[in-house]
C-alpha cells in the first residue's frame, strides 16, 4: 500500500477556466493508494509548494502527484520540493492537465473527464515508481571550440581566461572568419580589423589555448564531460613553426586563383596567406586532386606545372619541370598523341589548352637560347646496365639510369639511334635534327650507344651477362609489319607500311609516279600516305574498312592528310592485289557496312555481298598492323601471343631475373609517350633491383600513388578565349620535300595559350616555392594527419556563409559585372582590399555615381529560391554601405530597395535615420523585378509600393544584400555531433528562450550564426554565454548524470542486438557473460548499456523482442499501468 | 523521336511559316510528328481570362488524347505549350483540378503526358544532331534569340532551370553555325494580345525589344512564338516609325534559320510570308 498525495492546480483560469478542479480532486480521492487530494490556485507558487511539503510530513506521503502544466515547465520545481521533505525526486509524478487538456479541449465536461483520466494515469504510474539515484561521471577539464570566427575566438578566450585548457579547431588556414573580411561595423563604424585582429593575436598567444588551424572535426565519440574528438589536420605543405611569413614563395608562384578572402574580387597564389594579419601567419599550399592532364599522361608528366610557368614567361624553369618525367620534350611536343588535351577541363569551357604545342615551344625556345640549367647525374655507381633498343622506351630508361649514376650501354640494330622516332615517323613531323639534339643530350650524360648491334644476331642475352651487365632492359619495339593476308601481296610495288617508312627514313631514293593506295587507318597509314605524296605520288588514297570516326590515327593527322590532298576511301577492304606482269596493278576491294560493336568497342565492319570493285593503283602500302620481332627471345624469355614479351606490368621484370622489358615489345604497337613511361618505370625498377630491395617493396614503390585532395570545380564565369592556332607550312611548299609542317608557336602565343589553363590542381607542383624558401619549410610530400583529443565540452561556432544569389536570375549576378554582393562590396571598401578601399565599378574601374542596394536577396522569400527567415543584419549593413558610398564618392546618389527596414538594436534606428535623412539615401519600398544593362549602366525596374507605380532607375552599380545561410556542410557536422538542426540547416538550441546556447546533447553548446542569423554584438554575447556554460560544466570534478537510462535484464537478453543499430547514441555495447548451465560453464553475449552515453530516449526498449531492455523511470510495466488506467472508465 | 504534334490555330494561319518550317525541320532531324487526332482549341488567352474551368478543360481534352496515343505532346506555339504545361501541372498537383477536369471531360485524366515546346523537342535531339545536319552553316549571322514570356515561365510549370536567361535556342542556332548575341531582353514582354486592344503599348514594347537586339549587335531576331513574331514583325514598321527610327530587323522563327542551315529552300520555310522582308538578308548571306 502506497501513500500518495494528489495536488491539482487551477493555474488561475488556465486550468480552472475549463476543468472543474474540485471534481477532479473529488475523483482523485477515490483512486487506489491515494490518501490525500487537494487543489491549489498556483501549485508552483511558494504557498502551493509549502502545502505539498506540509502534507508530505503530516500524512507521511511516500509519493506525490501534481496535476498542472507540462513537466517541461515545472517537473524540476516539484522534484526539488519533494526532495526537501525526504521523498526521492523520482517518486514524484506529474499529470499535464493544461497543455494536454484545458488548453486544447473546448468542452468543459470533456475537459474535466480528461483531466480525471490523466490524474488517474499519473497515480497508476506513481504507484510503480521506484526511487532512483543520479550517478557520478568524471569530467575532462578541456574545452573544444569548433570554428575560429569572432564567435569561436570570443568563446575560446573566455573559457581559457578561467584557466581551462581550450582547443580551437578552424578549417581555414587562418582564424578570423567573415568578420575579418568586413571593413566597418555598424552602428558605430568601428574598423572591423582594428577590433578583431588584437583578439586573434590574444588567442594565438594565450597559454591555455591550442590553435589547430587548417583542421576539421571528423568524428565525435563519448558524452558530456568525456568526448573523444577525431580531428583531421590537413596537410599545409608548409612547416607551421618555421615559416616566417616572408612571402618569397608567393612571389614566385605561377598559379593565380580567385581569393576567398577577397570574395573572388582579387587573385591569390596557390601558396598563400589569406590576408596579411592572418593568424597563424604561415603560408599554406592549396592542392586539389591531381589535374586531368597529369592524371591522363602515361608518363605522368606535370603538364599543369610547365603550362603555369610558361604563362609567367619562366621558360627554362618550365623545361626543368617537363624533364622530370620526360627527357624528350622537343620530340613529344611534335609527335605526342597528347591524351592530356582530350581530358583537359578547359574543353568543358571552350576548347582544351594546346598543351602539346606549349611543350614544344618550351623545348625549342630554351634549347635555342642555351639557357637550360644542366642536371647533374648522381655519383657514379658500379653496376652496368645494358639497354637493347634505342627507341623512346630504351632512351628514356638509359637517361633515367644515367642520371642515377649507372653506366649504361644502348645497343641499336639499325645504323642510327632513335627507333621508330627515326624510322617510323617521317621527317615532316619530326625533323632528324630535333631528334639528334635530344639523343645527344642522353649521350652527354655518359650513355654509350652502339649502333648496328642487333640482339639475337650480333650478340645474345648470355653475352651481355658475360660482359658484366648487371641488368638488361629490352625495348626492341614492334618493327614487323603485318600482311593483309590476301593474294598477290608479294608483287613488286606492294610493301608494308613499316618497311616503307623505314626506307623513307633511311633516305632510300624513291620516286613514286602514279597512284598509291595505303591500306589501313592508323598513324602508320597516314604517315605513309603523306610521305607518298611528298615522294611524288600523283594520287594517294587511304583505304579503310570502317568510317572516319573509327580511324585509330590521330584525328588532326587525318585532317592534315586530307588537307594535303590524300583521299579517303572508307568502308571498303581489299580482297586481293591485282598483279600484272609481277607488278601491282591495283586492288580488288569489297564494300563494307558497320555491324555490331566488337571487343574494341568499335563497330565491326561486315562485307556487303556482291559489292566488289576494282581500284587501279601503281603502288600498295599495307599498314594494317605491326608486331614485335622477338625471335631473339625464343626459348630464353617467356612470350605471349603475337610474340610480345611477358613482363610484370608494374615492375616490367621478365621471366628471367635481372632482365626487364617494356615499350612496344611488351605492349604491342602503342604511343611514344607510353614508351617513355615504360622506360622511366624500367629505370626505377632496375634501380630497385640493383639495390637488392625486396620485389614486393618495388611493386609498391613503382605503383601509381593515388592522389587525394578536394575535387576541382570549373568556375562558372570563365570567359571563352580561342585556342592558339599552330602555324603551318603553306600547302604549296609541302610537295616533293620533307620540310617540317608545323612551325611552332611564338612566345606571345604560347604565353597567351598557357594563360587559358584553369589550374585544375590549383598548386601545379612546379616547386618554384621550394627553391625560393630560405628557411626551407616547404614540403610537397606532407600528408593529412589525424589526432584524437579528449575534451569535456564542445562549443560549436561554425558560422554562416553568404548565399550565392545566382538563382535570382532577374538580378543578373555573374552576368553583369556591375552587380555584386554585399560581401564583395565590403572587400571593395577594405583599405587593404583589391581596390585599396575605393568604391569602383568592376566594369570600368571608375567610381559609380549612382549605387542601388537590393535588400532581402534570398531572405524573407517563401519561394524555392530563398529562405523564409529574415537575415537580420542586412538592413543595418546596407545603411552602412549607403553611407560609405556617399562618404567616399562625392556627389554620389544611393537607392535602397527594401521590404521593411528593421532596426531593433541599440543605436540602430538612429543610424538608419541618419542614412536616410542626413545622408539622403533614397529608400524605395518594393522588390526589384529586373536588372538590365542599359547604355553605359544598369536599369533597375522596381515597383514603388508606397507611391503605387513602377520605376525605372538608371544606376552604375547594384549591390545585393544576400541572405545568411548555414555552412553548406552544417548538417554533416550536426550528425557528427548528434545535435539537432532546423530545416535550413541552422543548429537548434535546447529552448528558444530559456536555453538559447545549449543543444539537446549534453555538453555541446552553440555560439554565433551557426544557430541562426545574428550580428556581431549578439554573436559575441552568445559566445560568452556559451563559454560560461562550458566553464560551469568543466569546473566540476564530477557530473551527476540523469538516472533515466536503459538497463538490461541479462537473464532475458537473447543476445540478438536489435537494440544496437537503433540506439542513436551508440550506448549499447556487447558484454560476455560466463555462467553455469547444468553444472557446465558456458559463455554468451548480452547487451550492456553504457550509462554515460545513454540519453534515456527509450528507442531500444521498443526494438527488444524479449523485453529484456527497459528504461528506468519509464519501464514497460509503468507504461502498461498508465495504459490500463487510461482505458479504465 | 515520335511526338504528338499540336499545331493550334496559328500554325496554319497567321504563323503559317512557323508551321511549314516546323514540319520541314522535323523531317530533316528525323522527328516524326503525328498530328494529334481530333484536337481542339487550347483555350489560349480567351479561356483563361473568362472561364477558369474552360482554361483547364480545353487543354486537358487534348492531353487526354495524347495520353491515349501514348505520345509526348509537342506544341510549337508558346501560348499553346504554356496552356498544356499549366494544365498538366495543375492536374498532377491539385486534386480539385483533377476532379473538375474529370467532370468536364466525362473521363478521368490524371496527368502523365510530357509536354514539350519545339525548342525543347529539338534540343532533345542534341546540338550534335543539328551540327551534323547543317550543310550551310549560318556563319556570321548575329541572332538575338527571343523567348518571350510563355516559353519559360512560370518556372514551377515549365521547370525551366533559368527562366530569366534561357539559352537552349541560342545553343541550337550556334550548333547550326550562327552567332547568338548576349542580350537582356530574351524574356521581356512583347505586349502579346494587347496588340489589338492597346496597340500603343505593343508598339512601345516591340520597339524596346528591337532596339535592345540592335544595340546588342544582332542583325536578326529568332522567335518561337507566333504572337511574338507577329508583334515584332508586323508591328515593326509602325513601332519604329512612331519612335522616329529608320531600320528594319528581320524576325525569323528559329525553325526557319535552322532550316536554312539544313539547306532547305525559302519556299519550304515560308520565308516569303514576312512583313519585314527577310529574303534580301538571306540572299546577302548566300543561304538561298
The ipTM value here is 0.85
| Phi and psi at residue A192, to the nearest 5° | -60, -45
Distance CA B284, CA A758 (A): 40
Distance CA A662, CA A682 (A): 7
Distance CA A617, CA A492 (A): 12
pLDDT at A607 over 80: yes
pLDDT higher for B193 or A266?
A: A266
pLDDT at A703 over 70: no
pLDDT at A1027 over 90: yes
CB burial of B105-122 (b: ≥16 within 10 Å; e: otherwise) equals eeeebebebebbbbbbbb
pLDDT at A4 over 80: yes
pLDDT at A797 over 90: yes
pLDDT of residue A695: 60
pLDDT of residue A302: 94
Q: What is the mean pLDDT of residues A669-686?
A: 93
Q: What is the mean pLDDT of residues A689-697?
A: 74
| Phi and psi at residue A348, to the nearest 5° | -85, -15
Q: Are the C-beta atoms of A398 and A447 separated by less than 8 Å?
A: yes
**Which chain A residue's Cα is nearest to B155?**
A864
B contacts of A932 (beta carbons < 8 Å)? 184-185
Distance CA A424, CA A415 (A): 14
Whole-angstrom CA distances from A821 to A43, A829, A874, A887 are 56, 13, 11, 20
**Which chain B residue's Cα is nearest to A933?**
B184
pLDDT tens profile A439-462: 999 999 999 999 999 998 899 988
Strand partners, A459: A455
Based on C-alpha coordinates, what's the Rg of chain A? 41
pLDDT band for position A1041 (cuts 50, 70, 90): confident
pLDDT tens profile A121-163: 999 999 999 999 998 889 999 999 999 999 999 999 999 999 9
Non-local (6+) Cβ contacts of A824 within 8 A are A263, A264, A265
Distance CA A948, CA A500 (A): 86
Distance CA A924, CA A937 (A): 19
* Residue A392 region by backbone torsions, left for phi larger than 0, else alpha for psi between -120 and 50, else beta: alpha
User: Mean pLDDT across chain B, nearest whole number?
Assistant: 94
Q: What is the 3-state secondary structure (H, E, C) of B22-66?
A: HHHHHHHCCCEEEECCCCCCCCHHHHHHHCHHHHHHHHHHHHHHH
Contact with chain B for residue A812, Cβ under 8 A: yes
Q: What is the mean pLDDT of residues A614-629?
A: 90
- Residue whose cell numbers read 608483287: A491
Q: What is the DSSP letter of A706?
A: P
Which of B156, B162, B182 has the CB atom closest to A809's CB atom? Answer: B162
Give the count of alpha carbons within 13 A of A1091, CB side only.
19
Q: What percent of chain A has pLDDT over 90?
A: 80
Q: How many Å lie between the alpha carbon of A809 and the closest alpha carbon of chain B?
A: 5
CA dihedral (A436, A438, A439, A445) in degrees, to 10, reads 140
pLDDT tens profile A843-864: 999 999 999 999 999 999 988 8
Q: What is the mean pLDDT of residues B146-160?
A: 93
Q: What is the 3-state secondary structure (H, E, C) of A412-441?
A: CCCCCCCCHHHHCCCCCCCCHHHHHHHHHH
Helix (H) or strand (E) holding A594: strand A583-597
> By C-alpha distance, which of A173, A284, A277, A272 is closest to A239?
A284
Distance CA A271, CA B239 (A): 59
Helix (H) or strand (E) holding A308: helix A303-311
> By C-alpha distance, which of A838, A943, A1007, A780 is closest to A168?
A1007
Question: End-to-end alpha-carbon separation of chain A, Å?
Answer: 22
pLDDT tens profile A898-919: 999 999 999 999 999 999 999 9
Strand A1046-1048 versus strand A1109-1111 pairing type: antiparallel
> By C-alpha distance, which of A598, A544, A596 is closest to A574?
A544
Non-local (6+) Cβ contacts of B149 within 8 A are B187, B188, B189, B192
Q: What is the mean pLDDT of residues B246-275?
A: 95
CA dihedral (B165, B169, B172, B178) in degrees, to 10, reads -90
Distance CA A867, CA A874 (A): 14
pLDDT of residue A55: 96
Q: How many Cβ atoms sit within 10 Å of the Cβ of residue B221? A: 27
Which of B156, B165, B185 has the CB atom closest to A809's CB atom? Answer: B165
pLDDT of residue A375: 84
Distance CA A713, CA A1013 (A): 28
Q: What is the 3-state secondary structure (H, E, C) of A676-690?
A: HHHHHHHHHHHHHHH
pLDDT band for position A700 (cuts 50, 70, 90): low
Q: How many Cβ atoms sit within 10 Å of the Cβ of residue B53? A: 13
- Residue whose cell numbers read 553568404: A802
Distance CA B30, CA A73 (A): 72
B contacts of A933 (beta carbons < 8 Å)? 184
Whether residue A809 and residue B184 make contact (CB cut-off 8 A), yes or no, is no
| Phi and psi at residue A641, to the nearest 5° | -55, 145
pLDDT of residue A697: 65
Distance CA A769, CA A283 (A): 11
Strand partners, A284: A272
Contact with chain B for residue A952, Cβ under 8 A: no
Non-local (6+) Cβ contacts of A367 within 8 A are A330, A437
Give the count of alpha carbons within 13 A of A57, CB side only.
9
- Residue whose cell numbers read 614540403: A779
C-alpha cell read off for A409: 650501354
CB burial of A633-663 (b: ≥16 within 10 Å; e: otherwise) equals beebbebeeebbbebbebbbbbeeebbbbbb
Which of B156, B163, B182 has the CB atom closest to A809's CB atom? Answer: B163
pLDDT tens profile A335-377: 999 999 999 999 999 999 999 999 999 999 999 998 888 888 8
pLDDT at A550 over 90: no
Q: Is the dihedral of CA A938, A943, A944, A948 positive or negative?
A: positive
Contact with chain A for residue B185, Cβ under 8 A: yes
Non-local (6+) Cβ contacts of A176 within 8 A are A148, A149, A153, A196, A197, A200, A274, A275, A277, A278, A279
Contact with chain B for residue A933, Cβ under 8 A: yes
Distance CA A521, CA A553 (A): 6
pLDDT band for position A702 (cuts 50, 70, 90): low
Distance CA A252, CA A767 (A): 10
> By C-alpha distance, which of A813, A821, A796, A824 is closest to A969?
A796
User: Mean pLDDT across chain A, nearest whole number?
Assistant: 93
**Which chain A residue's Cα is nearest to B185?**
A932
Q: Is the dihedral of CA A497, A502, A508, A509 positive or negative?
A: positive
pLDDT of residue A447: 95
Q: Are the C-beta atoms of B35 and B5 separated by less than 8 Å?
A: yes
Contact with chain B for residue A783, Cβ under 8 A: no
Distance CA B65, CA A717 (A): 45
Contact with chain A for residue B32, Cβ under 8 A: no
pLDDT tens profile A11-68: 999 999 999 999 999 999 999 999 999 999 999 999 999 999 999 999 999 999 999 9
Q: What is the mean pLDDT of residues B196-221?
A: 94
Q: At what angle do helices B16-28 and B254-261 cross, to 10 degrees?
A: 40
pLDDT of residue B48: 86
Q: How far is CA B285 from the centre of its chain?
A: 25
Q: How far is CA B257 from the centre of its chain?
A: 13
Give the count of alpha carbons within 13 A of B128, CB side only.
0
- Residue whose cell numbers read 487506489: A32
Distance CA A749, CA A361 (A): 10
pLDDT at A708 over 80: no
Whether residue B165 and residue A932 make contact (CB cut-off 8 A), yes or no, is no
Q: What is the DSSP letter of B224?
A: S
Distance CA A939, CA A951 (A): 10
pLDDT band for position A633 (cuts 50, 70, 90): confident
Q: What percent of chain A has pLDDT over 70?
A: 99
Interface test with B, best of A933, A940, A954, A958 (most B CBs within 10 A): A933
Q: How far is CA B190 from the centre of its chain?
A: 13
pTM score, two decimals? 0.82
- Return the number of CB contacts < 8 Å for A and B: 15
Asked, as a colleague might, if the bond just before B55 is cis with ω within 30 of 0, I would say: no
pLDDT of residue A1078: 85
pLDDT tens profile A580-604: 998 999 999 999 998 888 777 778 8
pLDDT of residue A699: 65
**Which chain B residue's Cα is nearest to A816?**
B184
| Phi and psi at residue A928, to the nearest 5° | -75, 135
pLDDT tens profile A487-535: 888 888 899 999 999 998 888 888 788 899 999 999 999 999 999 999 9
Amino acid at each position: 500500500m502506497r501513500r500518495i498525495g494528489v495536488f491539482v492546480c487551477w493555474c488561475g483560469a488556465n486550468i480552472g477556466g475549463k476543468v472543474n478542479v474540485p471534481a477532479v480532486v473529488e475523483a482523485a480521492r477515490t483512486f487506489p493508494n491515494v490518501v490525500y487530494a487537494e487543489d491549489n490556485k498556483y501549485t508552483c507558487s511558494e504557498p502551493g509548494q509549502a502545502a505539498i511539503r506540509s502534507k508530505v510530513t503530516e500524512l507521511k506521503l511516500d509519493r506525490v502527484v501534481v496535476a498542472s502544466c507540462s513537466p517541461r515547465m515545472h517537473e524540476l520545481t516539484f522534484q526539488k520540493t519533494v526532495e526537501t521533505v525526504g521523498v526521492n525526486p523520482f517518486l514524484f509524478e506529474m499529470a499535464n492537465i493544461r497543455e494536454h487538456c484545458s488548453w486544447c479541449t473546448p468542452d468543459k465536461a470533456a475537459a474535466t473527464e480528461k483531466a480525471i483520466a490523466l490524474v488517474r494515469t499519473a497515480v497508476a504510474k506513481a504507484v510503480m515508481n521506484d526511487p532512483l539515484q543520479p550517478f557520478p561521471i568524471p569530467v575532462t577539464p578541456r574545452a573544444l571550440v569548433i570554428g575560429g570566427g569572432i564567435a569561436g575566438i570570443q568563446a575560446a578566450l573566455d573559457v581559457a581566461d578561467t584557466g581551462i585548457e581550450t582547443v580551437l579547431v578552424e578549417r581555414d588556414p587562418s582564424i578570423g572568419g567573415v568578420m575579418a573580411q568586413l571593413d566597418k561595423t555598424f552602428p558605430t563604424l568601428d574598423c572591423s580589423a582594428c577590433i578583431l585582429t588584437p583578439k586573434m593575436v590574444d588567442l594565438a598567444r594565450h597559454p591555455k589555448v591550442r590553435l589547430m588551424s587548417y583542421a576539421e572535426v571528423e568524428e565525435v565519440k563519448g558524452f558530456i564531460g568525456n568526448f573523444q574528438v577525431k580531428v583531421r589536420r590537413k596537410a599545409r605543405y608548409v612547416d607551421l613553426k618555421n615559416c616566417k611569413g616572408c612571402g618569397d614563395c608567393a612571389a614566385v608562384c605561377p598559379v593565380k586563383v580567385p581569393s576567398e578572402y577577397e570574395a573572388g574580387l582579387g587573385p591569390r597564389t596557390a601558396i598563400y596567406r589569406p590576408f596579411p594579419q592572418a593568424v597563424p601567419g604561415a603560408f599554406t599550399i592549396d592542392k586539389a586532386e591531381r589535374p586531368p592532364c597529369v592524371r591522363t599522361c602515361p608518363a605522368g608528366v606535370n603538364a599543369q606545372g610547365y603550362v603555369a610557368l610558361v604563362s609567367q614567361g619562366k621558360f627554362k624553369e618550365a623545361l626543368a619541370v617537363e624533364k622530370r618525367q620526360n627527357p624528350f620534350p622537343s620530340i613529344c611536343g611534335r609527335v605526342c598523341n597528347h591524351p592530356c588535351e582530350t581530358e583537359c577541363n578547359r574543353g568543358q569551357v571552350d576548347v582544351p589548352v594546346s598543351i602539346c604545342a606549349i611543350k614544344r615551344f618550351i623545348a625549342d625556345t630554351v634549347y635555342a637560347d642555351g639557357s637550360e640549367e644542366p642536371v647533374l647525374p648522381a655519383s657514379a655507381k658500379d653496376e652496368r646496365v645494358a639497354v637493347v633498343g634505342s627507341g623512346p622506351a630504351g632512351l628514356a630508361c638509359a637517361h633515367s639510369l644515367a642520371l642515377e649514376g649507372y653506366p649504361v650501354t644502348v645497343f641499336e640494330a639499325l645504323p642510327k639511334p632513335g627507333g621508330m622516332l627515326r624510322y617510323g615517323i617521317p621527317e615532316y613531323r619530326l625533323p632528324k635534327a630535333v631528334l639528334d639534339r635530344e639523343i645527344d643530350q642522353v649521350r652527354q650524360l655518359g650513355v654509350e650507344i652502339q649502333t648496328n648491334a642487333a640482339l639475337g644476331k650480333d650478340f645474345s642475352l648470355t653475352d651481355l651477362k658475360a660482359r658484366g651487365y648487371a641488368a638488361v632492359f629490352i625495348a626492341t619495339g614492334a618493327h614487323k609489319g603485318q600482311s593483309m593476308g590476301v593474294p598477290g601481296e608479294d608483287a613488286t610495288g606492294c610493301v608494308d607500311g613499316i618497311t616503307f617508312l623505314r626506307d623513307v627514313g633511311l633516305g632510300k631514293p624513291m620516286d613514286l609516279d602514279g597512284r598509291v593506295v595505303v591500306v589501313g587507318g592508323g598513324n602508320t597509314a597516314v604517315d605513309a600516305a603523306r610521305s607518298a605524296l611528298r615522294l611524288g605520288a600523283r594520287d594517294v588514297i587511304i583505304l579503310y574498312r570502317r568510317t572516319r570516326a573509327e580511324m585509330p590515327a590521330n584525328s588532326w593527322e587525318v585532317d592534315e592528310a586530307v588537307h594535303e590532298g590524300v583521299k579517303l576511301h572508307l568502308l571498303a577492304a581489299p580482297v586481293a592485289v591485282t598483279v600484272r606482269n609481277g607488278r601491282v596493278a591495283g586492288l580488288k576491294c569489297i564494300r563494307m557496312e558497320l555491324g555490331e560493336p566488337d571487343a574494341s568497342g568499335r563497330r565491326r565492319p561486315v562485307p556487303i555481298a556482291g559489292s566488289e570493285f576494282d581500284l587501279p593503283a601503281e603502288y600498295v602500302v599495307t599498314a594494317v598492323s605491326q608486331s614485335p620481332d622477338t625471335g631473339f627471345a625464343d626459348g630464353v624469355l617467356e612470350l605471349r601471343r603475337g610474340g610480345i614479351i611477358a613482363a610484370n606490368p608494374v615492375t616490367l621484370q621478365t621471366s628471367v631475373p635481372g632482365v626487364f622489358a617494356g615499350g612496344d615489345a611488351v605492349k604491342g604497337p602503342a604511343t611514344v609517350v607510353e614508351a617513355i613511361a615504360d622506360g622511366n618505370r624500367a629505370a626505377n625498377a632496375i634501380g630497385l633491383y640493383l639495390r637488392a630491395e625486396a620485389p614486393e617493396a618495388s611493386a609498391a614503390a613503382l605503383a601509381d600513388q593515388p592522389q587525394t585532395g578536394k575535387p576541382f570545380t570549373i568556375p562558372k564565369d570563365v570567359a571563352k578565349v580561342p585556342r592558339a592556332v599552330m602555324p603551318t607550312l603553306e600547302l604549296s611548299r609541302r610537295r616533293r620535300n620533307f620540310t617540317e609542317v608545323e612551325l611552332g608557336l611564338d612566345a606571345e602565343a604560347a604565353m597567351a595559350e598557357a594563360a587559358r589553363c584553369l589550374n585544375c590542381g590549383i598548386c601545379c607542383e612546379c616547386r618554384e616555392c621550394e627553391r625560393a624558401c630560405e628557411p626551407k619549410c616547404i614540403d610537397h610530400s606532407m600528408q593529412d594527419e589525424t589526432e584524437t583529443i579528449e575534451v569535456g565540452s564542445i562549443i560549436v561556432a561554425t558560422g554562416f556563409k553568404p548565399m550565392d544569389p545566382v538563382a535570382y536570375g532577374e538580378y543578373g549576378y555573374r552576368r553583369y559585372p556591375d552587380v555584386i554582393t554585399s560581401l564583395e562590396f565590403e572587400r571593395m571598401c577594405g583599405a587593404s582590399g583589391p581596390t585599396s578601399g575605393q568604391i569602383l565599378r568592376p566594369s570600368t574601374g571608375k567610381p559609380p555615381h549612382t549605387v542601388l542596394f537590393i535588400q532581402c536577396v534570398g531572405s524573407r522569400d517563401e519561394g524555392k529560391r530563398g529562405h523564409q527567415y529574415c537575415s537580420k543584419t542586412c538592413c543595418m549593413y546596407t545603411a552602412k554601405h549607403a553611407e560609405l558610398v556617399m562618404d567616399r564618392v562625392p556627389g554620389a546618389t544611393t537607392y535602397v530597395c527594401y521590404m521593411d527596414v528593421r532596426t531593433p538594436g541599440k543605436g540602430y534606428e538612429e543610424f538608419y535615420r541618419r542614412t536616410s535623412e542626413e545622408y539622403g539615401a533614397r529608400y524605395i519600398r518594393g522588390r526589384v523585378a529586373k536588372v538590365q544593362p542599359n547604355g553605359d549602366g544598369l536599369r533597375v525596374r522596381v515597383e514603388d509600393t508606397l507611391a503605387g507605380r513602377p520605376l525605372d532607375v538608371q544606376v552604375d552599380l547594384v549591390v545585393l544584400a544576400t541572405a545568411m545561410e548555414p555552412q553548406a556542410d552544417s548538417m554533416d557536422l550536426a550528425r557528427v555531433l548528434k545535435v539537432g538542426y532546423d530545416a535550413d540547416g541552422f543548429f537548434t538550441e535546447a529552448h528558444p528562450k530559456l536555453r538559447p546556447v545549449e543543444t539537446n546533447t549534453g555538453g555541446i553548446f552553440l555560439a554565433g550564426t551557426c544557430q541562426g542569423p545574428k550580428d556581431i554584438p549578439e554573436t559575441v554575447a552568445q559566445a560568452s554565454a556559451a563559454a560560461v556554460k562550458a566553464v560551469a560544466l568543466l569546473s566540476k570534478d564530477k557530473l551527476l548524470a540523469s538516472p533515466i537510462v536503459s538497463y538490461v535484464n541479462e537473464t532475458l537478453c537473447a543476445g540478438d542486438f536489435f537494440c544496437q543499430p537503433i540506439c542513436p547514441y551508440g550506448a549499447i555495447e556487447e558484454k560476455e557473460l560466463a555462467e553455469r548451465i547444468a553444472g557446465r560453464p558456458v559463455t554468451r553475449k548480452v547487451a550492456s548499456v553504457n550509462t554515460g552515453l545513454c540519453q534515456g530516449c527509450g528507442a531500444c526498449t521498443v526494438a527488444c523482442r524479449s523485453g529484456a531492455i527497459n528504461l528506468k523511470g519509464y519501464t514497460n510495466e509503468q507504461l502498461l499501468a498508465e495504459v490500463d488506467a487510461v482505458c479504465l472508465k | 523521336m515520335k511526338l504528338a504534334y499540336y499545331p493550334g490555330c496559328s500554325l496554319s494561319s497567321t504563323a503559317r511559316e512557323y508551321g511549314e518550317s516546323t514540319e520541314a525541320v522535323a523531317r530533316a532531324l528525323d522527328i516524326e510528328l503525328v498530328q494529334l487526332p481530333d484536337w481542339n482549341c487550347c483555350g489560349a488567352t480567351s479561356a483563361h481570362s473568362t472561364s477558369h474551368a474552360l482554361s483547364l478543360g480545353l487543354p486537358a481534352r487534348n492531353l487526354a488524347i495524347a495520353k491515349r496515343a501514348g505520345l509526348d505532346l509537342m506544341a510549337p506555339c508558346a501560348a499553346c505549350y504554356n496552356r498544356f504545361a499549366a494544365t498538366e501541372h495543375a492536374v498532377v498537383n491539385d486534386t480539385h483540378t483533377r476532379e473538375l477536369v474529370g467532370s468536364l471531360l466525362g473521363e478521368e485524366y490524371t496527368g502523365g503526358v510530357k509536354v514539350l515546346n519545339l525548342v525543347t523537342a529539338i534540343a532533345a535531339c542534341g546540338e550534335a544532331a543539328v551540327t551534323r545536319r547543317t550543310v550551310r552553316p549560318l556563319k556570321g549571322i548575329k541572332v538575338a534569340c527571343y523567348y518571350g514570356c510563355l516559353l519559360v515561365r512560370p518556372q514551377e510549370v515549365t521547370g525551366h532551370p533559368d527562366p530569366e536567361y534561357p539559352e537552349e535556342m541560342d545553343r541550337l542556332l550556334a550548333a547550326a553555325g550562327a552567332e547568338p548575341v548576349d542580350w537582356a531582353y530574351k524574356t521581356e514582354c512583347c505586349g502579346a494580345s494587347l496588340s489589338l486592344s492597346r496597340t500603343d503599348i505593343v508598339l512601345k514594347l516591340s520597339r524596346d525589344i528591337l532596339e535592345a537586339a540592335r544595340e546588342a549587335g544582332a542583325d536578326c531576331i529568332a522567335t518561337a512564338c507566333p504572337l511574338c513574331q507577329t508583334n515584332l514583325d508586323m508591328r515593326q514598321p509602325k513601332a519604329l516609325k512612331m519612335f522616329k527610327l529608320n531600320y528594319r530587323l528581320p524576325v525569323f522563327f528559329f525553325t526557319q534559320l535552322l532550316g536554312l542551315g539544313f539547306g532547305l529552300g525559302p519556299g519550304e520555310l515560308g520565308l516569303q510570308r514576312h512583313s519585314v522582308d527577310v529574303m534580301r538578308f538571306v540572299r546577302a548571306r548566300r543561304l538561298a
